[in-house]
Amino acid sequence: MNFRSDNEAPVNDQIMQALVEANQGFEESYGYDRFSVQFKSQCEALFECWVEALPLTTGTAANSIAMALACPPYGAIYCHEGAHINADECGAPEMFTGGAKLIPIQGDHGKICIHALTEKLAHSGVHGEHEVMPAVISLTQCTEAGTVYSLEELKALKALKEQYGLALHMDGARFANALVSLGCSPAELTWQTGVDMLSFGATKNGAMMAESLLLFNPKYKNQILRQRKRSGHLISKMRYVSSQLCAYLTGGLWLSLAQHANQQAQTFFQACQNQVEFIHPVEANEVFCRLSVDKIAALKQEGFEFHVWPGSQDIIRLVFSHATTADSVKQLIQAIKE
């Protein structure tokens, strides 16, 4: 039973079906297909505003193109020290921006500490041109720790963004999980709290390889198509990316898949919270908890698959996905309680 990653889960059947249906005859290439047009419309309806929607195949591409749009090569990007863009993208933001600097900010449970960021920004500029120029705040929602920024926390970031004239980027590789966790609208979670750019992921939540970069602020849209092309991310047969995204959003599929995943995580948490130390609040579909080394070994032997968190020996990460069955969660709970 696989709790290792939502990237290891299969494609949702409705999305696979959409791919099969998109495979009829010839269709314009390089993003001029009808699915790409439809996806933009669906986004605008969902987010209740103008949206520039750029279909992509990886979250790293979405994040990095966002950085290239908003951050000059002599700019600074403020993010949590454990943010995917800082810790897991092998320098992609640096590559796409031509050498911008990521400023790692500390904070509990995967969230940027607002006080640490405030202080960092307050000290920026004292060395003038000898320093990089503050340009972007990037946050991950849900965070890499499986937690979710509240709307209040986002508004505090928005205030800083406005004070310093920065762009606000949200890495939403698991945006759907955050949205259903908070129970707010997509608009409330994004542009209404100051988000200019959203890396809007679908792959982890049921698509095959379908991500996108959504812009809510036209200020950052300059040459977005050339930025995609020059990084090799313009897919020729784009209909097969965009049709995934369309199916993902149709009929609320994305929300029900995320709801299911989050629910499995909650079931696990509720059942085990008295026996197990949870490292971070369980607010979406990722769970970090501490088990004995012996217990970890036993679980692995029983066929449960998960990551022991890099750098630790007794902290495991469990990811509950759209494809995680209630039965497998039940078995996991039992195995842990034994």
- Would you give the DSSP letter of residue 305? B
Dist CA 107 CA 73 (whole Å): 26
- The 10 Å Cβ neighbour count of residue 94 is 18
94 binds a copy of itself (CB under 8 A): yes
Q: Which is nearer to a copy of itself, 1 or 46 (CB)?
A: 1
Q: Which of 45, 108, 115, 123 binds a copy of itself (CB under 8 A)?
A: 123
In order, the DSSP letters of 41-83 are HHHHHHHTS--EEEEES-HHHHHHHHHHHH--TTEEEEEETT-
Return phi, psi of residue 297, to 5°. Answer: -60, -40
Among the listed ranges 53-61, 181-189, 261-269, 274-282, the one in contact with a copy of itself (CB under 8 A) is 53-61
- Minimum distance from CB of 288 to a copy of itself (Å)? 15
- Minimum distance from CB of 34 to a copy of itself (Å)? 12
Q: Which of 51, 53, 61, 284 binds a copy of itself (CB under 8 A)?
A: 61
User: Binders of a copy of itself among 203-222, rule CB under 8 A?
Assistant: 203-204, 208-209
Among the listed ranges 157-165, 190-198, 231-239, 257-265, the one in contact with a copy of itself (CB under 8 A) is 231-239
Q: Which is nearer to a copy of itself, 120 or 280 (CB)?
A: 120
Among the listed ranges 35-43, 81-89, 271-279, 290-298, the one in contact with a copy of itself (CB under 8 A) is 81-89
223 binds a copy of itself (CB under 8 A): yes
H or E element at residue 267: helix 253-272
127 binds a copy of itself (CB under 8 A): yes
87 binds a copy of itself (CB under 8 A): yes
Structure tokens at 11: 């494609």
The DSSP bridge pattern shows strands 211-215 and 277-278 to be unpaired
- The 10 Å Cβ neighbour count of residue 108 is 10
- Minimum distance from CB of 228 to a copy of itself (Å)? 8
- Minimum distance from CB of 71 to a copy of itself (Å)? 11
337 binds a copy of itself (CB under 8 A): no
* SS3 of residue 287 by DSSP: strand
Q: Which is nearer to a copy of itself, 49 or 87 (CB)?
A: 87
Q: Which is nearer to a copy of itself, 67 or 291 (CB)?
A: 67
User: Binders of a copy of itself among 7-46, rule CB under 8 A?
Assistant: 7-11, 16, 19-20, 23-30
Q: Which is nearer to a copy of itself, 191 or 200 (CB)?
A: 200
- Minimum distance from CB of 86 to a copy of itself (Å)? 8
Q: Which of 34, 70, 91, 259 binds a copy of itself (CB under 8 A)?
A: 91
Whether residue 320 contacts residue 262, with contact meaning beta carbons closer than 8 Å, is answered with yes
User: Binders of a copy of itself among 296-335, rule CB under 8 A?
Assistant: 305, 310-311, 323
Dist CA 298 CA 294 (whole Å): 6
Sign of CA dihedral 195, 198, 201, 202: positive
Largest CA distance in the chain: 61
98 binds a copy of itself (CB under 8 A): yes
Q: How many CA atoms lie within 13 A of 49 on its CB side?
A: 19
Dist CA 304 CA 306 (whole Å): 7
Residues 6+ positions from 127 with CB-CB distance below 8 Å? none
Among the listed ranges 84-92, 105-113, 161-169, 292-300, the one in contact with a copy of itself (CB under 8 A) is 84-92
User: Binders of a copy of itself among 130-169, rule CB under 8 A?
Assistant: 130-133
The DSSP bridge pattern shows strands 133-140 and 167-172 to be parallel
Residue with tokens 């965070």: 143
